[in-house]
Structure 1
Amino acid sequence: MYSTFIFDLDGTIIDSEMIGLSALQSTLKEQGIEKSLDELRFSLGIPGLTTLEVLNIADIPTTLETWMEKEKPLMRNVPIFEGMIDVVSQLPKTGIVTSQTIEEMNNSFYLLNIDHLFDSVVCASDTVKHKPHPEPLEKGIEQLGCSSHEAIFIGDSIYDMECAKSAGVDFGLALWGAKTIKGFQNADYILEHPKDILNLLHLNQ
């Protein structure tokens, strides 16, 4: 059924979301802005620049730099979700579509030495528009040389699902990252553990 498996990165491949949220919360606190982690969860799945625009931050460049600097030492050792490497290594064709910029990727993903497992990587620096717009996923599909019907996008955020639906791609919810099915009624699959992805592969047989 699926020849191509495309993944979000944060909260899907790597367990990084609390790192990003905590670093953002600390950055805002230095500016006198008090936000709970729950209040900042909307930022999961969209670029940092977009997050700061939503928060109406006055000095976005400086704030973004501070946020990234707080993240950097923690992201160097970001954990990979248990079982994920084994699962990805069994898939026929794989890609990543992430809202991280290339700078963020260099400080996290590319230090993990798992990039060889993926045939395509699309980050926020590669497109003009970002999730939930379909452009990043469409670019990934183009690079992977498949049709939208041959691919499935696996992610943990509403933005991931909206991106998939807009691109005409089936969506699998990474429940290990999302922690809830609320708001994901339109997901094609609810995946409780990374190993559940292999059940989608078996649909091909």
Structure 2
Amino acid sequence: MRYRHIVFDIDGTMLDTGRADMLATQETFFQLTGEWRAPEEFRFALGIPNSTVFARLGIEDVEEASLMWEENFSKYHPTIRLFDGIVEILKALRELGIYPGIVTSRRRREFNADFAAFGLNHLFGTVICVDDTPRPKPYPDPLLEYLKRVDGVRQETIYIGDTLYDEQCAHAAEVDFALAAWGAHSREGIRADHHLESPGEVLKLVVDDL
């Protein structure tokens, strides 16, 4: 078995939340500034903690903005879906004796509200949210916290994500990174140890003869 710890990002990796993310950011920015921008102008925010997003947008009270964003995001839940093949690959990993983990830029309450609705929590072991560590991605803290909790070995761990922040977090933690190309909006500047074109290819990370 090549990797014993398979750790997933959520947004853009397991859940297709891109449209909901951009619309919620657009609406929140308009409420706070009165300035209306196209949703695509907020594509940069995908996979980045809300506190970082709104700080970049020049919003002083990022905590208030993040709370507003969560409320707006809930309006777009009907547009969110699981990427095809995610459920099957998670079940396959469990059959191989692997409890996948999660490292996400979502707050714990967001995780409980949004991800739990898909009924997949029982397929995972350890979940690290943005409020579990002092610093978020792209710092290594979230993955280091995951390794600490599972007593994991870096060389036996791989993080699967779709953004530059995910890659930077993994490599800063000295963990291999696999790009979830099925959800990535851009591959520019991302140094992936593995490129996965579909969720089914995750099995290649753990079974040598695939």
Band the TM-score falls in, shorter-chain normalisation: over 0.9
| Number of residue-to-residue matches in the alignment | 204
Alignment match of 1:66 (pick from 68, 72, 96): 68
Supply the distance in 1 between the matched residues of 2:143 and 2:209 (Cα, whole angstroms). Answer: 22
Determine the structure 2 residue equivalent to 1:202. 207
Supply the distance in 2 between the matched residues of 1:100 and 1:14 (Cα, whole angstroms). Answer: 12
Q: 1:110 aligned to 2:116? A: yes
Say if 1:26 and 1:130 are closer, same or farther in 2 by CA, change over 3 A. Answer: same
Counterpart amino acid of residue 199 in structure 1: K
Say if 1:198 and 1:35 are closer, same or farther in 2 by CA, change over 3 A. Answer: same
Counterpart amino acid of residue 138 in structure 1: L
Say if 1:19 and 1:26 are closer, same or farther in 2 by CA, change over 3 A. Answer: same
Counterpart amino acid of residue 17 in structure 1: G
Determine the structure 2 residue equivalent to 1:159. 165
Residues 76 and 107, structure 1, Cα contact 8 Å, conserved in 2: no
Show structure 1 runs of 4+ deviating over 6 A: none
- Note the aligned Cα RMSD (angstroms): 1.8
What is the SS of the residue equivalent to 2:109? helix
Determine the structure 2 residue equivalent to 1:45. 47
Determine the structure 2 residue equivalent to 1:11. 12
Aligned residues: percent identity?
36
Alignment match of 1:172 (pick from 161, 178, 182): 178
Supply the distance in 1 between the matched residues of 2:109 and 2:176 (Cα, whole angstroms). Answer: 29
Supply the distance in 2 between the matched residues of 1:55 and 1:7 (Cα, whole angstroms). Answer: 28
TM-score (norm 1): 0.92
Q: Which moved more, 1:48-57 or 1:160-169?
A: 48-57
Post-superposition shift, 1:26? 1.6
Supply the distance in 1 between the matched residues of 2:78 and 2:119 (Cα, whole angstroms). Answer: 11
Q: Which moved more, 1:129-138 or 1:34-43?
A: 34-43
Supply the distance in 2 between the matched residues of 1:204 and 1:135 (Cα, whole angstroms). Answer: 33
Per-residue displacement from partner, 1:110-136 (whole Å, max 9, x unpaired)?
222101111110001111110000000
Per-residue displacement from partner, 1:143-192 (whole Å, max 9, x unpaired)?
222201101100000000000000011100001110432222x2011111
Determine the structure 1 residue equivalent to 2:91. 89
Alignment of 1:176-187 (within 5 A): 176-184=182-190, 186-187=191-192
Post-superposition shift, 1:67? 1.4
Residues 152 and 170, structure 1, Cα contact 8 Å, conserved in 2: yes
Supply the distance in 2 between the matched residues of 1:170 and 1:198 (Cα, whole angstroms). Answer: 15
Post-superposition shift, 1:49? 1.4
Supply the distance in 2 between the matched residues of 1:131 and 1:59 (Cα, whole angstroms). Answer: 20
Counterpart amino acid of residue 109 in structure 1: F
Alignment match of 1:57 (pick from 56, 59, 64): 59
Counterpart amino acid of residue 14 in structure 1: L
Residues 163 and 186, structure 2, Cα contact 8 Å, conserved in 1: no
TM-score (norm 2): 0.90
Counterpart amino acid of residue 27 in structure 1: T
Gaps of at least 5 residues in structure 2 are: none
Residues 122 and 140, structure 1, Cα contact 8 Å, conserved in 2: yes
Per-residue displacement from partner, 1:83-136 (whole Å, max 9, x unpaired)?
101101222231000000012112201222101111110001111110000000
